[in-house]
Amino acid sequence: MKTILIINKDNRKVISTYPGNGPNQGMFGGPWADPEQFLHVQLPDDVDPDCIRVAIDYSISEDSEKKAVKNAQASILYTEALVERAMAFGQKIIKEFAAENIRLGITQDGKTAEVRVKMANVLSALSTGSLYDAIDQANEIEDFDAKYVTEARIQSFIAKIQTYLGQ
């Protein structure tokens, strides 16, 4: 099926579309059937339906400015979705780490502030969805302890992020 455009001849604006094998103005009643007021034209395959430009001779082409705006908007939406997913993943890891710390007895041991300070750069990176930076920050930790910020836990942390990133 092709996309058929209904064009107002007065202002060369596309007022509607319909699917079909070709223009079929006769199937419409009312003004859309009037060839003096409206023209039915098949959308060329290479023209984005959201970026149509109708020339004085009613030829159809793609409006490069509309296409650039559409591409920019798509890029914004795509990158925002990537960041949103990375932030959600970062929050998931933070929650897992914090819950495990509680199970290990961090509050009873009075180590909450100490661990938070050691992990601050990693947690900040994860909160903003900066996963590669979170790996770098985790790799920079050298002040391990015996229970909460162990080398094994940090390496596990890094491995989870790398798995998410497909590394």
Give yes or no for a contact between 101 and 131, defined as CB atoms under 8 angstroms apart.
Answer: no
Computed over its alpha carbons, how large is the radius of gyration of the chain? 29
131-139 helix and 112-127 helix, angle to the nearest 10 degrees: 150
Residue ranges of domains in the chain: 2-62, 79-165
Rounded to 5°, the CA angle 100-101-103 comes to 65
21/26 Cα distance (integer angstroms): 14
pTM of the model: 0.66
Digit-by-digit pLDDT tens for the chain (167 residues) are 899 999 999 999 999 999 999 999 988 888 999 999 999 999 999 999 888 889 988 889 898 999 999 999 999 999 999 999 999 999 999 999 999 999 999 999 999 999 999 999 999 999 999 999 999 999 999 999 999 999 999 999 999 999 999 98
Measuring CA to CA, which residue among 142, 165, 166, 158 is closest to residue 97? 158
